[in-house]
């Protein structure tokens, strides 16, 4: 897979197709992940919702507090986030976002997306990405992930509606103003070997989104927090330069620590100048058994202690 004119597009060997055989084998995968992405477990296709019902009641049934709000002690602060902007750099928002967020402050006029056209080049016999282009922040209705909508709902809350219930679920900072910025996209590309689906983003999509938000902060003299619930396998100068550009303009940058637990953090969350956020819970909640490397390390530590005691 290449970027015009012939520069390799990505570093990950599994995505540098470069040959018809590779594309033919990878075409069987559900979704191929680009260098930066959200958890593929959350890459379910976006679905439409029924938006015909009337207004919903605030704070859910009997004022119940969602556990994620309670964990950060935000339930007592109805003005949480007032005067603060949060730029959600993610997969954008689903088309029916006004239904979910009618109660919230969404700066749709500042919303924007950054992406590439990806197509099959018969001369190179490979997938090629064209130049970086701007698009809307609306998630692709058939291929896109609702992850950006999910992240926004965690921040400001959302409307929950079924045949038997209709209410608003509280967010951790209900008064923040959301700036939706799409930096992760989804594609289905026809090839001679069948359609190939891809999702995620490239360095320039992420970095351009960061710089766009930083310029908003400067132009409008507002306080902005960038939220990136996404991650990649390694650091890149392009994204780190964009992060530093934002920090110099007073923007706070928050990113996911990743989904790998004790195996290490992803990027850009691993940069020291970035505030990284991990899942909350009790000790070892997400590790049912110690990973193999940990078991080996513990055994070697015990053996070293035993040898040390024998030598005393």
Residue with tokens 């990878």: 26
- Among the residue ranges 27-41, 58-72, 289-303, the one predicted with the least confidence is 289-303
pLDDT of residue 104: 87
Comparison of pLDDT for 132 and 278, the residue scoring more: 132
Q: pLDDT category, 300, cuts 50, 70, 90?
A: low
16 has a pLDDT exceeding 70: no
> What are the sequence ranges of the domains in the chain?
35-118+129-188+197-311
Sign of the Cα torsion 267, 36, 72, 217 reads: positive
pTM beyond 0.85, yes or no: no
Has residue 307 got a pLDDT over 80?
no
pLDDT value at residue 8: 31
DSSP designation for 271? S
Mean pLDDT in the chain? 77
Top pLDDT among 10 and 118 is at 118
Q: Which residue has the higher pLDDT, 61 or 70?
A: 70
* Contacting residues for 121 by C-beta, under 8 A, at least 6 apart: 2, 127, 128
Instruction: Please tell me which residue, 217 or 54, carries the higher pLDDT value.
Output: 217
Q: Where are the alpha helices (DSSP H) in 1-96?
A: 20-26, 67-71
Tell me, what's the pLDDT at 19? 31
Q: Find the mean pLDDT for residues 253-278.
A: 88
Distances (CA, A) of 228 to 6, 252, 272: 30, 11, 15
Tell me, what's the pLDDT at 48?
43
Structure confidence at residue 81 as a pLDDT band (50, 70, 90): confident
Distance separating alpha carbons of residues 156 and 227, to the nearest angstrom: 13
* Dihedrals phi, psi of 276, to nearest 5 degrees: -100, 140
Peptide bond between residue 5 and the one before it cis (omega within 30 degrees of 0): yes
Highest mean predicted confidence (pLDDT) among 10-19, 224-233, 245-254: 245-254
Q: Any idea what the Cα angle at residue 184 is, between residues 13 and 129, rounded to 5°?
A: 55
CATH of domain 35-118+129-188+197-311: 3.40.50.200
203-220 vs 237-248: helix axis angle to the nearest 10?
A: 10
CA–CA gap between residue 39 and residue 99 (Å, rounded): 25
CB-based burial label for 299 (10 Å; 0-12, 13-18, 19+) = exposed
DSSP string, 95-144: TTHHHHSTTSEE-GGG-EEEEEEEEEETTTTEEEEEEEEEE-SBPPTTT-
Between the two ends of the chain, the Cα-to-Cα distance in Å is 60
Q: Which of 116, 128, 118, 140 is nearest to 43 (CA)?
A: 140
| Span 65-93, average pLDDT | 84
Give the per-residue pLDDT at 305: 52
The mean-pLDDT minimum among 89-93, 124-128, 247-251, 302-306 falls in 302-306
In this prediction, residue 265 has a pLDDT band, given cuts at 50, 70 and 90, of: confident
Per cent of the chain over pLDDT 70 is 69
Tens of pLDDT, residues 194-220 = 899 888 999 999 999 999 999 999 999
Helix (H, G, I), strand (E, B) or coil at 38: coil
- Say how far apart CA 204 and CA 192 lie, in whole Å: 28
């Amino acid at each position: 897979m290449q970027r015009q004119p012939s520069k390799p597009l990505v570093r990950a060997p599994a995505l540098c197709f470069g040959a018809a055989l590779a594309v033919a084998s990878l075409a069987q995968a559900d979704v191929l992940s680009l260098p930066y992405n959200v958890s593929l477990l959350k890459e379910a296709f976006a679905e439409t919702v029924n938006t015909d019902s009337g207004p919903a009641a605030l704070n859910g049934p009997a004022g119940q507090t969602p556990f994620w709000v309670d964990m950060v002690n935000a339930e007592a602060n109805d003005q949480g986030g007032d005067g603060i902007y949060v730029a959600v750099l993610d997969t954008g928002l689903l088309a029916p976002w006004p239904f979910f967020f009618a109660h919230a402050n969404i700066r749709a006029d500042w919303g924007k997306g950054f992406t590439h056209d990806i197509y099959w080049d018969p001369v190179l016999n490979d997938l090629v990405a064209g130049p970086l282009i701007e698009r809307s922040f609306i998630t692709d209705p058939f291929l896109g992930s609702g992850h950006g909508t999910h992240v926004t709902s965690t921040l400001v809350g959302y409307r929950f509606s079924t045949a038997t219930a209709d209410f608003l679920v509280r967010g951790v900072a209900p008064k923040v103003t959301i700036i939706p910025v799409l930096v992760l996209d989804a594609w289905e590309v026809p090839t001679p070997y069948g359609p190939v689906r891809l999702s995620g983003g490239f360095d320039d999509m992420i970095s351009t989104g960061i710089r766009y938000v930083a310029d908003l902060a400067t132009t409008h003299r507002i306080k902005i927090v960038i939220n990136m619930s996404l991650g990649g396998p390694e650091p890149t100068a392009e994204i780190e330069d964009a992060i530093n550009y934002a920090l110099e303009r007073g923007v706070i940058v928050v990113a996911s620590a990743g989904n790998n637990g004790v195996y290490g953090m992803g990027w850009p969350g691993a940069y020291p100048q970035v505030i990284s956020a991990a899942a909350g819970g009790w000790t070892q909640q997400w590790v049912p058994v110690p990973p193999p490397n940990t078991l080996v390390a513990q055994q070697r530590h015990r053996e070293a202690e035993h040898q040390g005691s024998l030598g005393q």
